[in-house]
């Protein structure tokens, strides 16, 4: 038996056979002690016995250096992206190394402060870099342990007087001879005048100075909030003079991280799939906002793909190892909807084809195609150096409910995105309740928050005229806030105000600024009887229902009567959807009692009886 196996065998035997008697002896001979030996002490005693019996020299120095400084620097260099951060780290490491050498040779050295601010979005490698720096400082002997203690506000701040000091000092003590990494450090200063976070900051500043030779504090968080945080406390900013800016990963860098994760998790995909993922990650990078997840977004993407693959393979009978490792185009299209989000040369044409498939809306379709032609003509003129008048895309959508205003807004968003007018082209839908608050000052804050969500897309305000109240109504504050942002963010925001035609005229006339800024007016006409029936058929086809002859006649007759009467506030498409849902319920009631004997054809057929019973409920 070799030494390693003899060692394990001996320790195993002592732990399970000799330990009880040993503890009993200790307790008998040391009756004055509070308790017997701890499990750690007992294990140490057993291991010491083994070394003594075998005649081995046991090293007393357990503090070994796992890596050499140059090995750690090589690991940092291997990190994806982070070019500027690597340069900053290289400069810091050179400085630390030279100052240490000067001291070793009896020369005076500059004071080494390791406190650093890590600024950037989540998932940009801040924690990974911090760990590697800790290893490097340990390898150089600048920090004895080089370990990292990761905390947030919750780990430092208590909810009662005196508790924060205890909590913060305990965390700092744990980080001595290593790195204290505080994520979202700015949250310590965002709790108000009487918040205990300020106490944590004061303790931190004091200990950063006192323990400067044994402690490195890394403060991390979003760039703008960290900059403001450091400026707000002169004591803190003077001790954290070094800043590392972690930039968002580019599309190719995100793909590189993705390929590394694939390999690490033992998954593969073919070249076509990787090219599709390259398109996807380029899209993610282009569409990113100030809270982009970077590496976390890549990890989430892989998790979605793995789930899609699992769902697909669960239906298979004979699953091979190769199938378990392979992610297919089917998985990608199911998990990520790449067909909708990746920009291709034929994307505009496919969106316009989708527009043509809408029932009715002949004037709206023509209006949009005119707008598209104007945009493309201006882009070509600009490309050839010809003068182009700046365009405004803000629009008024007038018409009754259920005439497709929201759906057309979504189509427009996608058209603007495909033409490069808007970066994202998403639609944020709100009404008065989503913009107006009940107290002074809150409406502006609420409205700006919604506008922030709509940046690079469309803000769709339904029943916009509801914002126009009396002289002291807060809705006017919302209008003023929107008007200002329409000017300030004209290249990043499109506003569509929607509602009944007559009331929208009142809305536009309520504020001179509104009339100047809304250049386009889209009139959504009510559907005629034929169009209402076609909408009903589209609902039926999607759910795999068919009408028998009598049911078809009855529905056509009903829609003709409706359009002749033209009831006030008629719901158009919404009315048709509600009617369809009620007809489906009535069909279920009719066949439900005989469900066991029903054939597939019976389950799919809507009869005149179903229609008649549903119309009684409308």
Average pLDDT of 408-436?
Answer: 88
Distance CA 205, CA 199 (A): 10
For 218, other C-beta atoms within 10 Å of its C-beta total: 26
Number of H helices, E strands in the chain: 29, 12
Average pLDDT of 361-369?
Answer: 89
Q: What is the pLDDT of residue 326?
A: 92
Task: Calculate helix-pair angle for 442-454, 475-488, nearest 10 degrees.
Answer: 40
Distance CA 411, CA 541 (A): 22
For 439, other C-beta atoms within 10 Å of its C-beta total: 7
User: Is the confidence at residue 34, as pLDDT, over 50?
Assistant: no
Q: What is the pLDDT of residues 486-542, one digit of tens each?
A: 888 888 899 998 988 888 888 888 777 787 788 888 998 888 888 898 888 888 888
Architecture of domain 69-246: 3-Layer(aba) Sandwich (3.40)
Model confidence at 52, in pLDDT bands (50, 70, 90)? low
Q: ∠ at Cα 62 (60, 67), nearest 5°?
A: 140
Average pLDDT of 413-434?
Answer: 87
Structural tokens at position 419? 């033409």
**Inter-residue contact 568 to 509 (CB < 8 Å):** no
User: Is the confidence at residue 181, as pLDDT, over 90?
Assistant: yes
Tell me what the pLDDT averaged over the chain comes to: 81
Q: What is the pLDDT of residue 174?
A: 92
Nearest CA-CA partner of 79 in 135, 117, 146, 129: 129
Contacts 24+ apart (CB under 8 A), 509-515: 510/468, 510/479, 511/468, 511/476, 511/479, 511/483, 513/483, 514/479, 514/483
Q: Is the pTM of this model over 0.75?
A: no
Model confidence at 83, in pLDDT bands (50, 70, 90)? confident
Model confidence at 176, in pLDDT bands (50, 70, 90)? very high
**Inter-residue contact 377 to 369 (CB < 8 Å):** no
Q: In this structure, are strands 242-246 and 116-120 parallel, antiparallel, or unpaired?
A: parallel
Structural tokens at position 403? 């005439």
Strand partners, 539: none
Model confidence at 30, in pLDDT bands (50, 70, 90)? very low
Residues in Cβ contact with 200 at an 8 Å cutoff, skipping those fewer than 6 apart:
153, 156, 157, 164, 167, 168, 188
Q: What is the pLDDT of residues 226-251, one digit of tens each?
A: 888 888 788 888 888 788 898 888 88
Q: ∠ at Cα 267 (265, 268), nearest 5°?
A: 145
Higher pLDDT, 474 or 9: 474
Average pLDDT of 197-207?
Answer: 89
Higher pLDDT, 535 or 339: 535
Class in CATH terms, 344-524: alpha beta
User: Is the confidence at residue 146, as pLDDT, over 70?
Assistant: yes
Is the CATH number 2.60.40.420 carried by domain 529-617? no
Distance CA 249, CA 295 (A): 8
Nearest CA-CA partner of 390 in 254, 490, 245: 490
User: Is the confidence at residue 219, as pLDDT, over 90?
Assistant: yes
Q: Which range (111-120, 327-336, 352-361, 466-475) has the least confidence? A: 466-475
Distance CA 260, CA 128 (A): 15
Architecture of domain 251-335: Orthogonal Bundle (1.10)
Q: What is the pLDDT of residue 66?
A: 57
Supply the DSSP string of 240-309, one letter for each residue. Answer: --EEEEEPPPPHHHHHHHHHHHHHHTT-B--HHHHHHHHHHHHHHHHH--TT--THHHHHHHHHHHHHHH
Structural tokens at position 243? 């800043």
Q: Within the chain, which residue ranges are assigned CATH 3.40.50.300?
A: 69-246, 344-524
Q: Within the chain, which residue ranges are assigned CATH 1.10.8.60?
A: 251-335, 529-617
């Amino acid at each position: 038996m070799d030494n390693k196996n003899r060692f394990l065998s001996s320790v195993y035997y002592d732990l399970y056979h000799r330990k009880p008697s040993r503890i009993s002896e200790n307790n008998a001979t040391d009756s004055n002690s509070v308790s017997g030996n701890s499990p750690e002490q007992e294990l140490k005693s057993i291991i010491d016995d083994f070394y003594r019996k075998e005649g081995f020299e046991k090293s007393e120095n357990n503090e070994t250096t796992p890596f050499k400084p140059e090995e750690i620097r090589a690991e940092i260099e291997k990190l994806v992206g982070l070019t500027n951060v690597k340069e900053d780290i290289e400069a810091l490491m050179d400085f630390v190394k030279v100052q240490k050498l000067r001291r070793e040779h009896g020369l005076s050295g500059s004071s080494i402060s390791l406190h650093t601010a890590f600024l950037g979005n989540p998932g940009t490698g801040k924690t990974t870099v911090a760990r590697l720096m800790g290893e490097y400082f340990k390898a150089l002997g600048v920090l004895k342990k080089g370990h990292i203690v990761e905390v947030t506000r919750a780990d430092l701040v208590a909810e009662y007087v005196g508790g924060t000091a205890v909590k913060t000092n305990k965390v700092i003590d744990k980080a001595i001879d290593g790195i204290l990494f505080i994520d979202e450090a700015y949250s310590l200063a965002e709790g108000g005048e009487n918040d205990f976070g300020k106490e944590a900051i004061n303790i931190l500043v004091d200990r950063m100075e006192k323990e400067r030779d044994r402690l490195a504090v890394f403060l991390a968080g979003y760039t703008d909030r960290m900059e403001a945080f450091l400026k707000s406390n002169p004591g803190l900013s003077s001790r954290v003079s070094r800043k590392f800016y972690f930039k968002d990963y580019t599309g190719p860098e995100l793909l590189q991280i993705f390929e590394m994760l694939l390999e690490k998790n033992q998954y593969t995909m073919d070249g076509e799939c990787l090219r599709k993922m390259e398109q996807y990650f380029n899209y993610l990078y282009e569409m990113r906002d100030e809270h982009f997840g970077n590496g976390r977004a890549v990890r989430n993407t892989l998790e979605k793909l793995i789930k899609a693959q699992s769902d697909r393979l669960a239906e298979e009978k004979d699953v091979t190892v190769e199938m378990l490792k392979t992610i297919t185009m089917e998985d990608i299209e199911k998990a990520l909807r790449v067909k909708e989000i990746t920009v291709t040369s034929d994307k505009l044409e496919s969106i316009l084809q989708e527009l043509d498939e809408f029932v009715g809306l002949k004037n709206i379709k023509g209006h949009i195609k005119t707008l598209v032609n104007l945009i493309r003509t201006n882009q070509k003129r600009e490309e050839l150096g010809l003068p182009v008048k700046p365009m405004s895309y803000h629009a008024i959508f007038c018409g009754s409910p259920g005439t497709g205003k929201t759906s057309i807004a979504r189509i427009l968003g996608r058209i603007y995105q495909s033409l490069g007018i808007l970066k994202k082209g998403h639609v944020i839908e709100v009404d008065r309740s989503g913009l107006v608050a009940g107290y002074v000052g809150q409406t502006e804050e609420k409205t700006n928050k919604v506008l922030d969500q709509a940046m690079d897309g469309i803000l769709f305000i339904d029943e916009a005229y509801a914002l126009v109240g009396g002289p002291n109504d807060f809705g006017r504050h919302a209008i003023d806030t929107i008007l200002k942002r329409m000017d300030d963010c004209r290249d990043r925001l499109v506003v569509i105000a929607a509602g009944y035609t007559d009331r929208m005229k009142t809305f536009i006339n309520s504020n001179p600024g509104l009339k100047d800024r809304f250049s386009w007016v889209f009139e959504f006409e009510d559907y005629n009887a034929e169009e209402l029936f076609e909408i009903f058929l589209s609902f039926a086809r999607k759910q795999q229902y068919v009408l028998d002859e009598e049911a078809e006649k009855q529905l056509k007759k009903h829609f003709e009567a409706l359009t002749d009467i033209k009831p006030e506030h008629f719901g158009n498409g919404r009315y048709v959807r509600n009617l369809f849902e009620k007809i489906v319920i009535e069909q279920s009631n009719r066949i439900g009692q005989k469900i066991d004997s029903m054939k597939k054809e019976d389950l799919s057929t809507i009869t005149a009886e179903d229609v008649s019973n549903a119309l009684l409920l409308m």
